[in-house]
């Protein structure tokens, strides 16, 4: 039986540095990050694990049950909305931008 080595990284930004975009840049910089757990050797499958919370709550996590199984686990954080702002087509905490404005070009 061979032992597979793994690496784990946290708080990796998935927006390009200097990307202006729309909305609250501070909130985006805080929320738009991911954690990664993967084998150090190539040739593995990848699971993207989105946390629950109905787009209104929650934090990224790397579930222990998925670690050290010969695959990569990517756990992104993402922008959250509140029930009232989602009903009006706005994201909470992002300066009241329209949902359409959050799409990257």
Contacts of 96 (CB under 8 A, 6+ apart): 85, 90
* pTM of this prediction exceeds 0.85: no
Contacts of 102 (CB under 8 A, 6+ apart): 22, 23, 79, 91, 94
User: What is the residue-averaged pLDDT of the chain?
Assistant: 77
Domain boundaries, the chain: 6-97
pLDDT band at 17 (very low <50, low <70, confident <90, very high): low
Q: For residue range 40-51, what is the model confidence (pLDDT) as tens digits?
A: 999 999 999 998
């Amino acid at each position: 039986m061979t032992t597979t080595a793994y690496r784990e990284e946290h708080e990796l930004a998935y927006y390009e540095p200097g990307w202006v975009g729309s909305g609250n840049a501070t909130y985006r910089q805080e929320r738009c990050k991911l954690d990664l757990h993967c084998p150090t050797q190539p040739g593995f499958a990848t699971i993207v694990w989105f946390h629950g919370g109905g787009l209104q709550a929650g934090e990224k996590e790397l579930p222990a049950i998925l670690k050290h199984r010969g695959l990569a686990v990517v756990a992104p954080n993402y922008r959250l909305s509140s029930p009232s702002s989602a009903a009006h087509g706005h994201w909470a905490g992002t300066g009241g931008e329209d949902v359409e404005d959050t799409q990257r070009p």
